[in-house]
Structure 1
Amino acid sequence: MKAFLLAVGGFLALTASMLGACLVWGGPAAPEGRSAIVGTFQRAAIDPPALQSFKARDGTELAYRNTPAESPERGSVVLVHGSAGDSRAMQPLAKSLAAAGLNAYALDIRGHGDSGPRGRIAYVGQLEDDLADFLAAVQPPAPRLLAGFSSGGGFALRVAAGPDADAFDGYLLLAPFVSHEAPTYRPDAGGWVRVGVPRLIALHLLDGFGIRAFHHLPVMRFAVDANSGLTPSYGFRLAINFRPRTDWRAEVAAVARPTRVLVGGDDAVFHPQAFAEVFARQDAMDIPVRVLPGIGHAGVVLDPAARRGVVEAADALLSAKPVQEAD
Structure 2
Amino acid sequence: MTQTRRRYPAVIAAILLAALTAIPVGIAAAIAWGGPEDIPPLATINDPFKDLDFSNVPPAQRYPARDGASLAWHAYHPNGGQSGASPQRVVLVHGSSARGQSNHVLAQALANAGYTVASLDMRGHGASGTRGHAAYIGQMEDDIEDFLRAVPHAGAQTLMGFSAGGGFALRFAGSARQGLFDRYVLLSPFLHHNASTSRPDAGGWASVGLPRIIAITLINQMGITQWNHMPVLKFALSDEAREALTPAYSFTVATNFRPHDDYQADIRNARGTICIVAGADDELFYADRFASVFSQAGKQVPVTLIPRVNHMGLTLDPHAVATVAGNPCPA
CA drift of 1:251 comes to: 1.5
> Which runs of 5 or more structure 1 residues have no equivalent in the other structure?
321-327
Separation (CA, whole Å) in 2 of partners of 1:265 and 1:36? 15
Query: RMSD value over aligned CA atoms?
Result: 1.7
Separation (CA, whole Å) in 2 of partners of 1:9 and 1:260? 53
Q: Provide the residue aligned with 1:61 in structure 2.
A: 70
Instruction: Describe the SS at the equivalent of 2:116.
Output: strand
Q: 1:152-191: per-residue Cα shift (whole Å, max 9, x none)?
A: 0000000011110000000100000011111110001100
Q: 1:44-92: per-residue Cα shift (whole Å, max 9, x none)?
A: 3522110001010000000000001124452110000000000011111
Separation (CA, whole Å) in 1 of partners of 2:249 and 2:112? 34
CA drift of 1:35 comes to: 3.6
Q: Provide the residue aligned with 1:287 in structure 2.
A: 301
Separation (CA, whole Å) in 1 of partners of 2:69 and 2:178? 24
8 Å CA contact retained: 2:41, 2:238: no
Q: 1:270-294: per-residue Cα shift (whole Å, max 9, x none)?
A: 01111121122686x6310111101
8 Å CA contact retained: 1:44, 1:89: no
8 Å CA contact retained: 1:193, 1:220: yes
8 Å CA contact retained: 1:45, 1:89: no
**Amino acid corresponding to residue 198 of structure 2 in structure 1:** Y
Where in structure 2 are the equivalents of 1:78-117 lying within 5 Å? 78-117=91-130
CA drift of 1:146 comes to: 0.5
Q: Provide the residue aligned with 2:248 in structure 1.
A: 233
Q: Which moved more, 1:288-297 or 1:23-32?
A: 23-32
Instruction: Describe the SS at the equivalent of 2:19.
Output: helix
CA drift of 1:232 comes to: 0.4
Matched, 1:28 2:36: yes
Q: Provide the residue aligned with 1:325 in structure 2.
A: none
Separation (CA, whole Å) in 1 of partners of 2:153 and 2:161? 16
Q: Provide the residue aligned with 1:306 in structure 2.
A: 320
8 Å CA contact retained: 2:44, 2:312: no
Equivalent position to 2:311, from 285, 297, 318: 297
Q: Provide the residue aligned with 2:23 in structure 1.
A: 15
Separation (CA, whole Å) in 2 of partners of 1:289 and 1:8? 53
8 Å CA contact retained: 1:55, 1:133: yes
| 1:45–1:170 Cα change, 3 Å | farther
8 Å CA contact retained: 2:291, 2:300: no
Matched, 1:270 2:278: no
| 1:41–1:156 Cα change, 3 Å | farther
Q: Provide the residue aligned with 2:5 in structure 1.
A: none
Q: Structure 2 length as normaliser, TM-score?
A: 0.91
> Which runs of 5 or more structure 2 residues have no equivalent in the other structure?
1-8
Q: Provide the residue aligned with 2:226 in structure 1.
A: 213
| 1:274–1:45 Cα change, 3 Å | farther
Matched, 1:75 2:84: no
Instruction: Describe the SS at the equivalent of 2:327.
Output: helix
Q: 1:235-266: per-residue Cα shift (whole Å, max 9, x none)?
A: 00100000001112222122111111000011
Q: Which moved more, 1:100-109 or 1:34-43?
A: 34-43
Separation (CA, whole Å) in 2 of partners of 1:63 and 1:277? 36
Q: Structure 1 length as normaliser, TM-score?
A: 0.92
Separation (CA, whole Å) in 1 of partners of 2:199 and 2:296? 23
Equivalent position to 2:270, from 211, 232, 255: 255
Pairs aligned (count)? 316
**Amino acid corresponding to residue 37 of structure 1 in structure 2:** I
| Bigger radius of gyration among the two | 2
| 1:282–1:245 Cα change, 3 Å | closer
8 Å CA contact retained: 2:228, 2:252: yes
8 Å CA contact retained: 1:260, 1:313: no
CA drift of 1:5 comes to: 4.7
8 Å CA contact retained: 1:253, 1:281: no
CA drift of 1:313 comes to: 2.6
8 Å CA contact retained: 2:264, 2:297: no
8 Å CA contact retained: 1:279, 1:289: no
| 1:111–1:233 Cα change, 3 Å | same
Q: 1:120-154: per-residue Cα shift (whole Å, max 9, x none)?
A: 10100000000000000011342000000000000
Q: Which moved more, 1:126-135 or 1:304-313?
A: 304-313
Separation (CA, whole Å) in 1 of partners of 2:203 and 2:42? 12
